[in-house]
Amino acid sequence: MVTKKIAVLFSGSGTNLEAILQKLHGKIFGDIKIEVVMTLTNKPDAGGIVKAAKYGLTSVVMDNKKFASREEFDAALVDEIKKYDVDLVVLAGFMRILTPIFTENLRAINLHPAILPLFKGAHAIEESYKSDMQVGGITVHWVSAELDGGKIIAQKTFSRKNRTFEEWEAKIHKLEHKLLPKTIVEILKKDQ
């Protein structure tokens, strides 16, 4: 049995972090065991810190406001993550635009709350809801230097129906909590 180590980066409430911890941390999938060995946030007051603590993990807090530039922050981020010798970095609501200093030195995936390449950026949920699209959805993709532009790994869609914005957003989060853990397992099993 091989243990696969992941780092999860987050900026907010940590609901996707919690889904990963519940469904993957310390669990066995065929011939691999998955361990979340690092949780990291760029926000000192992020709710995910408490969620990680429930699983015995002390989150690394790296406040991006304390760095002179994106590049300086990303260099420190890469150095910190490399200490944990992880097989995969998972961005689960990590609200940072990353530079090549990060993207060229770490193997990372990102969870995006809309269908790519159509709706990129921080307002994707709202933009997708206001569009004429008859489906909403989510995307898991490889992290690249282009914002939300890395190769798509997995997507899941749902029909518009007559959903309110709140229902639309809730449906996105429900799908995220299923697709992201499933995709992580698939990637790590392929590594064998």
pLDDT (tens digit per residue) in 10-46: 999 999 999 999 999 999 999 999 999 999 999 999 9
pTM for this entry: 0.96
DSSP characters over 71-105: HHHHHHHHHHHHTT--SEEEESS---PPPHHHHTT
Domains of the chain and CATH, by start: 2-191 (3.40.50.170)
The reply, when asked if residue 40 is annotated as ligand binding, is no
Q: Which residues are catalytic?
A: 112
Assigned token pair, 64: 């991006």
In this structure, of 16-20, 145-149, 153-157, the range with the lowest mean pLDDT score is 145-149
User: Is the pLDDT at 56 greater than 90, yes or no?
Assistant: yes
pLDDT at 68: 96
Q: Which amino acid is at 27?
A: K
28 is in an annotated binding site: no
Q: Report the DSSP beta bridge partners of residue 7.
A: 38, 89
For residue 103, say whether it is annotated as part of any ligand binding site: no
pLDDT at residue number 191:
85
Cα 37 to its chain centre, rounded Å, is 15
Closest to 20 measured CA to CA, from 139, 176, 151? 176
139-156 average pLDDT score: 96
How many Cβ atoms sit within 10 Å of the Cβ of residue 169?
Answer: 16
Give me the DSSP letters along 98-160.
PPHHHHTTS-EEEEESS-TTTS-STTHHHHHHHSS-SEEEEEEEE--SSTT-SPEEEEEEEE-
Mean pLDDT of 148-160: 97
Mean pLDDT of the 60-81 span: 97
Q: Kindly indicate the confidence band of residue 192, based on its pLDDT and cuts at 50, 70 and 90.
A: low
Average pLDDT, the chain: 96
- 97 annotated as a binding-site residue: yes
Residue 51, pLDDT score? 97
